[in-house]
Amino acid sequence: MTNSTVKITRVKALILGVVSLAVVGGAVTGVLLATAKELRYPTQTKLRSALPAAATAELKSRGVALGGPLSCADLPGWTKKRLRATCSGTTANKQAVDVIGTGDEASAKHYFTILVAGSPVVQNAPCLGKGCRKGG
């Protein structure tokens, strides 16, 4: 009877370890890429276009009625990777409303702030309107 043993040298162990790390690293990278978040409004145009309806819905849910539609524009300094838009208008009782919406491609996060008469009603919220609420 022969006793066969597998002889593992340090070089073979090192190669096996490197290959194992590469396989695990590839799997982790695949999972991270598959679960990577995207911006809800991925372009400046989409952010600026969605902001009035989202802000109006958010204000309505908080009992603030607008006196008319919000007027929106791009904020200076926006880029394809760092979105910036603003809207303005008035409440039904003539208080100033200012809305700021941002998006950052690197973090895949939006932030929204709404001021009524200079005071924050919403501050750095990740989203606005019905789409933010459970079941909405």
By CB atoms closer than 10 A (0-12, 13-18, 19+), residue 53 is middle
25: in domain:
no
Domain range for 111:
44-132
pLDDT above 90: residue 23: no
- pLDDT of 72 reads 97
31: in domain:
no
Per-residue pLDDT averaged across 39-58, rounded?
Answer: 96
Task: Please give the Cα distance from 74 to 68 (Å, whole number).
Answer: 20
- pLDDT of 36 reads 54
Per-residue pLDDT averaged across 13-42, rounded?
Answer: 61
128: in domain:
yes
53-94 pLDDT per residue, tens: 999 999 999 999 999 999 999 999 999 999 999 999 999 999
**Domain count of the chain?**
1
Q: What average pLDDT does the chain have?
A: 84
- pLDDT of 88 reads 98
84: in domain:
yes
More confident site: 116 or 12: 116
11: in domain:
no
pLDDT tier for residue 135 given thresholds of 50, 70 and 90: very low
Q: Amino acid identity, residue 109?
A: K
C-alpha pair distances (Å), 134 with each of 36, 65, 126, 129, 131: 22, 23, 14, 11, 8
14: in domain:
no
- pLDDT of 33 reads 40
102: in domain:
yes
17: in domain:
no
